[in-house]
Structure formats: structure tokens, C-alpha cells
Structure 1
Amino acid sequence: MELTNKVAIVTGGASGLGRASCDQLVAAGVNVAIFDMNEEAGQQAVSELGSDRACFSVVNVTDEASVAAGIADAVNAFGAIHILVNCAGIATAGKVLNREGQALDLGDFNKVISVNLIGSFNVARLAAEQMAKNEPMGEALERGVIVNTASVAAFDGQMGQAAYSASKGGIVGMTLPMARDLASVGVRVNTIAPGIMGTPLLESLPDNVKDSLIANVQFPKRLGLPSEFGDLVVTIAQNAYLNAETIRLDGGIRMQPR
């Protein structure tokens, strides 16, 4: 896809990997509609990216009406939707049984699944509905591309990550069938499974904790750069033959049990 003047929705776009995706997409000529629950951070992102290149909507990805309203705002601002980057998510941890032998609260498990998996699908299905209205573009005659965010936890889930790993494994699992479902309308679907990325949350950890995580990275021996995630988003959007794939972005890490 030629990216100049295309329009992307980025969920969780006010911080972390979502914000890095916004930065790289705007640098590539894309206009971005940021969906996030943090209005202050969202408005700051728009100010920094430029109000002519970015807009912001408070969106709860688990709520159909909220997502539909956000999509309507984005179309009103920029005229169409060509790209979706799903970065919104939570990483609540909890063992199946805690130290006192009590089972993990089912509500906690449900919340992670609801935000990470169902929320990603909710935005994807409504964005795809809008993308299907686009005129076919380029030699591939594509109408759009969806990039979902999983995690290496989908494959190497650690202790306490049953809910998180299940949510991210679900995203990996739906990549191929979603791509097959949307092939007839020219919409591609791919997933990025990042490893330990240098988001503000991870960068704030004590050095000994970060060092123990980095020890499992093969090369280069560091946290991943959010800009590297954003670069991959741009590459996926540009490459029309890249479809139905889950790409690990992790420096070769294989997570240990704890």
C-alpha cells in the first residue's frame, strides 16, 4: 500500500507501542486517528503530531457503540480508514492458585480476555466494515490492512500469565481465519508478537529486573525499541504480499517460566 495520505486508526495510541506506531505512520505520510482511554495523553499526542495529521477519540475497545463513534469521528476527520493498528491492552497478572491456595478470580481473567482479545476483534470487525467501502488501491487492489498486537507470551507464557497468554494466543489464532474472511474484500490481516519492549512501563523497572529479562534475549542484548515496533507496522502496511502472518519481534528471546 502506498501510504501517503492514507488514514490509520491506532488503538492504545496515546502511549507505548501505540504511540510509537503513530509516530512512524505519520512520518510515512499517514494521518492517524488515536483511540485511547487517556484523554490527556491523547490530546498531547495530537498536539505533538499536529492537528492536521492526527485526531483523538476516547474509545473503550470493548464497547461497540464507543468504537463505532470513534470510527465515525475518524472518517469525519480524514474521509476513510485504510489501516488499523490494535495496540490497546492490559497485562494483569495472577496465578491460577495464589500462595494461599485461592483460585484466580474469574472476573480478572474475563477482563484481560475482554480487553485484549475481544477488544481487538471488536475494533477489527468494525474497521474492516469501513475499509470494505474503499476503492481498491494499487496493483494488488487492496482496500485495507489490519495489524493486531499479540506477544511472545502467546508462545512462552510465564507463571502468572494464564489470562494474558490466553488473550494473546487468541489473537495469534484468529490471524489466519480473519485474513481468509477478509480476502474477498481486499483487506489483509497480520499480527506482531513483541518481546520485551522498552516502553515506559518496562523502562521503569529496577535495573536487576531488566537485566534478568535482557539475559534471555539472543541479540541484540537490550530491550526492543518502540520505534522498531512502529517500523514493522509501516512495513506490514506497505507490503501487499504480507498477509495472515504472525511476526515475532523479540531479538530471539524465549521466555523462562518466571
Structure 2
Amino acid sequence: MAMQSNGKNIAIVTGSALGLGYELARQLIAEGWFVAGVDFNAERQTELEGEFGAESYKAFVGDVSDEAFVNASIAEIAELGHVDLLINNAGQPSFKTPTAYEAADVDKCLKGLKGMILWSVATLKADGEADLKIANVMSTAATRGNANESVYCATKWGEKGYTQSLKAAYKGTSVKIVGVYPGGIDTAFYRDSHDYVSEEKQHTFMDPAQLAGVILFNLVNDANLTVSDILIERNYV
């Protein structure tokens, strides 16, 4: 069955199955958007299509850093109409001491950067480089160095460099680029790193639903302005 946006604004959210990505998708849909959700979790994607309905959500299952998958997905999404918003949210962590990192960890962290570039390029081409907002969700790790996150920080700094370069390239146009830098979020993102971030510590981090609300409040509004960088830290109380 062909997708139908029914005249709704169209957003692409990568990493939409769980955590912050899920909340971004859910809250956009609640505001009347059509969301093309991208994630490698096929089982969860099937659940979300049932939860949101075909009129509001279409699941794309694959690796965000796979160029063939990206281009095929964008071609299908573009049949709906103009994409208004791309949220590059997908990414994977790797928290280790500096000497514990291996090539596989580097490749894992680089998937987020590669995916960010591929989805941005493909969406810009599909939209004719016009009337598009791209929000790149990174981390406060893109703003500083952290002792046990050397490779993770390196890729996040790369994402920040890409984001800043897009801003320079599209300055003064109808393409708007937003860098989003959240601190720790209470999600399963840390499930493989509890030796570094304990579950107890994880639960002191930001609530993903609240964080999504703050991001979208700044990202999607009727004001004739753009919040170009969103740095969000949790309250220490």
C-alpha cells in the first residue's frame, strides 16, 4: 500500500524506535506531522506502525549508514511530497578507557556520523536544497573531551564540524541547520556500558519525553526565526 501524508508536514527521524527518537516521533505525530521513522530494530518498527497508524508513521528498517538503503528510502519518502524536517538522531555509543578501544568500536561510533551525512545529502537533493530544516542530534560530548569517551567524542566532534559546515554552506537560504547537544538521557543507550554508566547513574539523567519536548519547542514553531544551537543540560538537584 502506498504511503499517504494527507497534506501533513513530513519529518524524517532516524533512530526512531526507542528513547529520544521515539519521543521525537511520537510528539511530532501528536502535533499532526507525518513521520518517516528509520531504525534497524524491525520488531519495534512493526510495533510503532501499529501504534501510530499508516496515516501518521511509516517505518524504514535498515542501517542508517548504508548508502543504498538511504537513497532507496529517500526516493520512497519523496513520493509523498516535500520533506520539511530531517532529524538525524541515530547513533551508537562506545565508552571505554583510551587503550581499550578497537577498530570495531571506531566503526560503531562512526555509523552515526556517516548516517548523518548520507541522510542530509539525500534529503537536500530530494528537496531541491530548499525549505528544509535539518536538526543534528549530537551530545555534549561534541563540545568537550571526556576521559572514557575518546572515540565517541571524536565522532561527535566530527558531527559538529559537519553541522557547522552545513550552516556555512546554506547561510541566507531557506535551508536551516540546527545543532542539538543534549547531556545524558535516561534510556537504554547505556545498556552495554553499565560498567561506565551504572543504571543508578543513568536514572539521574534527563527524561527523554521532557527532552524531546524542549527540542521540539525550539525546533518547530511559527516564529520567523531559527534557534541554531540547542545545548541542554540536566538540573543537578
Q: Which residue of structure 1 lines up, in the alignment, with residue 211 of structure 2? A: 229
| CA distance in 2: counterparts of 1:88 and 1:46, whole angstroms | 19
Instruction: From 36, 40, 44, give the equivalent of 1:37.
Output: 40
C-alpha displacement of 1:240: 4.5
Q: Distance in 2 between matches of 1:110 and 1:35?
A: 20
Give the corresponding residue for 2:107. Answer: 110
Distance 2:105 2:201 in 1: 27
Q: Does 1:174 align with 2:162?
A: yes
Q: In structure 2, how many angstroms separate the alpha carbons of the residues matched to 1:157 and 1:210? A: 23
Name the residue aligned to 1:218. none
Secondary structure of 1:97's counterpart equals: helix
Counterpart in the other structure of 2:122:
126
Which has the higher relative contact order, 1 or 2, with Cα contacts under 8 A spaced 6 or more apart? 1
- Which secondary structure does the structure 1 equivalent of 2:220 belong to? helix
Return the letter of the residue paired with 2:133. V
The aligned counterpart of 1:219 is none
CA contact (8 A) 1:147 1:191 kept: yes
Query: How do residues 86-97 of structure 1 correspond to structure 2 at under 5 angstroms?
Result: 86-97=88-99
State the secondary structure of the residue aligned to 2:8: coil
Task: Give the structure 2 partner of residue 248 of structure 1.
Answer: 231
Fraction of identical pairs, as percent: 25
Deviations 1:136-181 (A, max 9, x none): xxxxxxx110011111122344333111111111222222220221
The offset of 1:36, in angstroms, is 0.8
- Give per-residue Cα distances to partners, 1:7-38, cap 9 Å, x unaligned: 00000111111111001111111100011111
Change (3 A) 1:233 1:84: farther
Q: How many residues align?
A: 226
Q: Is the Cα contact below 8 Å between 1:150 and 1:194 reproduced in 2?
A: yes
Is the 8 Å Cα contact of residues 154 and 169 (structure 1) preserved in structure 2?
A: yes
Aligned to 2:75: 72
Equivalents in 1 of 2:186, 2:235: separation in Å? 16
How far does the alpha carbon of each residue in 1:73-103 deviate from its partner, in whole angstroms, 9 at most, with x for none? Answer: 2223x322110011111002233314xxxxx
Q: Which runs of 5+ in 1 are unaligned?
A: 99-103, 135-142, 215-221, 254-258
Q: Which amino acid is the alignment partner of residue 175 of structure 2?
A: V
Larger CA Rg, structure 1 vs 2: 1
Instruction: Encode CA deviations 1:113-152: one digit per residue, 9 max, x unaligned.
Output: 2x12121111111112222366xxxxxxxx1100111111
Q: Is the 8 A contact 1:8 1:83 kept in 2?
A: yes
Alpha-carbon separation, structure 2, partners of 1:229 and 1:202:
17
1:84 aligns to what?
A: 86
Q: Report if aligned partners of 2:85, 2:134 keep a CA contact under 8 Å in 1.
A: yes
TM-score when scaled to structure 1? 0.78
Q: For the aligned residues, what is the CA RMSD?
A: 2.6
> C-alpha distance in 2, partners of 1:110/1:17?
22
Partner residue, 2:27: 24
> Normalising to structure 2: TM-score of the pair?
0.84
1:107 CA displacement: 3.9
